[in-house]
Every structure is written in C-alpha cells, then in structure tokens.
Amino acid sequence: MNLVMPMAGRGSRFAQVGYTLPKPLIDVRGLPMYAWATESLPLELATRLIFICLEEHLRDLKLEQDIRTRYAKWKPTIVPLGKVTQGQACTVLEAEGALDLSAPLVIYNADTYCRTNLPTTLASLGKDVAGVLGVFKAPGDKWSFARTDAQGRVVEVAEKKRISDWCSTGLYHFTRAQDFVTEAKAMIAADDRVNGEFYVAPVYNRLIAQGREVRLDVAPEVWVLGTPEDLTDFEARYRGPVPARR
C-alpha cells in the first residue's frame, strides 16, 4: 500500500500569528504536527511511505531529518516541490513516479489526527470496491461531503457543499493508485475545480460515474489541527495519549 502525505502548503495562517517553524514541524504536545497525522494511518500496511514537501520547508534539513529518523523503518520517500500547486490532487500527482501504481493508495491530510478503522473496513469489503472515503460528523460547510444510498454506497462527493452529514476526515483510499492518477489527470484536463483548486475528493465522482463502488470508513475520533484556532481547541479539549513512535 502506498501511503502519501501531501504537506506542501505554506501554512500562512500559522506564520501570520508568529509561528516560525514550517507547519508540519509545529510542536503539538511534544510531537510535530505531521507525525500526529502520519500516526493516524495504518502504517503496518505500508509498502511505500511518501511525503510531499515544499523545498523551502526542507532547506534547513530539520523536516527531512525528522521524517527520515522518525519513519526510518519504512525508508520514506520525500518528494520536494518548488512551489505550491493548484490543489491537493496536483500535489499528489507530483509523486506519481514514486508510487506503485498497481497497489492501493491512501492519501491523508497532514494536519488532521484521527483514529481510523480502515484495515477492518477494507477486510470486510469485496475486492470490487474502487475506494474508501474516511468520514465523520461535524457542523459547518468547510468540509468535503459524501452522500450515500440505502446500501451505504457513496453516490456523490461534494466540496464545501453540505449534501449530507458525512464529512471527510481527509483520508482517501483508492484500491489501485492507477485509478487515482488516471482520473485526477482527467479532472485537471477538464478544469474541474472547486474555488479555483483541484481537490482529491471529487476524483471519486468520476469512478462512481463509471459504475465503480466507493464506500465509507467512519472514524470514531477526529481532530483537525489545520489552523491556529483548531490547534488551540485541540490543546484545550484533547484528553487522549500522544501517539507512540512505531
């Protein structure tokens, strides 16, 4: 399984309030933010662990050293980007050359911590399922949303439009990495943007339109760390343990 962490955003909201470290390295209870996200993943299933980072965040070597030391067991691949892309789908495509295209792919937001049941969910599903979308329930309309039919199959995914109560955790699974690559490229060629960006979640709509099956994995716990306000809320309310290094 390819596990991909796209973390090539500028993190400007943190810089604006005085944070000097790159967003992935911001300390959260003794652990860098990106590690909280990475520890959310089923690392035991990983055959390739890939981090996509801005070159400017890698220049002082602290981020690269932390990744290579913390996840040495997985011999991580680091893909440097010279600039911010036009969206997360574009960012992940920059790692195409590092992917095993015949293997499953999991993409995950580098600023969200969750507990996922993905391994159990995958074991319970048939081999014909094209992908699994991590979800939870939350207020507001800032999320990606997934609408399902009576059998629990995803019939529509929408960005920033509340078509159901199921909000994306930022975890996107594709049974074959090639499916993501092919459909993401088609989405970009069609200029299918949301608010000027190319997101990952709408790629599922292209698979669904082909009659492919997409299912949900409901996360029992989700903490978004993406803004200074989110981080303050997490620090005030989180009562669980700090993830141990695996």
Domain count, the chain: 1
Helix or strand run (H / E) with residue 209: helix 203-209
Asked whether residue 91 is domain-assigned, the answer is yes
Asked whether residue 243 is domain-assigned, the answer is no
Asked whether residue 184 is domain-assigned, the answer is yes
> Is the pLDDT score of 128 beyond 70?
yes
Query: If you average pLDDT over residues 89-102, what whole number do you get?
Result: 99
User: Which two structure tokens, joined as six digits, stand for 93?
Assistant: 């495509």
Model pLDDT, residue 126: 81
Query: If you average pLDDT over residues 103-123, what whole number do you get?
Result: 96
Domain containing 8 equals: 2-237
Per-residue pLDDT reduced to its tens digit, 185-229: 999 999 999 999 999 999 999 999 999 999 999 999 999 999 999
Higher-scoring residue by pLDDT: 140, 61: 140
Which of the four pLDDT bands, split at 50, 70 and 90, describes residue 65?
A: very high
- Residue 22: CATH number of its domain: 3.90.550.10
Per-residue pLDDT reduced to its tens digit, 143-159: 999 999 999 999 999 99
Model pLDDT, residue 10: 85
Q: State the average pLDDT for the chain.
A: 96
Backbone dihedral region for residue 152 (phi beyond 0: left; psi -120 to 50: alpha; all else: beta): left
User: Which two structure tokens, joined as six digits, stand for 220?
Assistant: 């029992």
Asked whether residue 76 is domain-assigned, the answer is yes
Portion of the chain with pLDDT greater than 90, in percent: 95
Which of the four pLDDT bands, split at 50, 70 and 90, describes residue 245?
A: low
For 56-78, give the DSSP string: HHHTTSHHHHHHHHHTGGG--EE
Asked whether residue 244 is domain-assigned, the answer is no
> Do the Cβ atoms of 145 and 158 come closer than 8 Å?
yes
Query: If you average pLDDT over residues 117-121, what whole number do you get?
Result: 95
Asked whether residue 242 is domain-assigned, the answer is no
Which of the four pLDDT bands, split at 50, 70 and 90, describes residue 96?
A: very high
Per-residue pLDDT reduced to its tens digit, 15-29: 999 999 999 999 999
Asked whether residue 246 is domain-assigned, the answer is no
Which of the four pLDDT bands, split at 50, 70 and 90, describes residue 244?
A: confident
Model pLDDT, residue 168: 98
Model pLDDT, residue 181: 99
Asked whether residue 28 is domain-assigned, the answer is yes
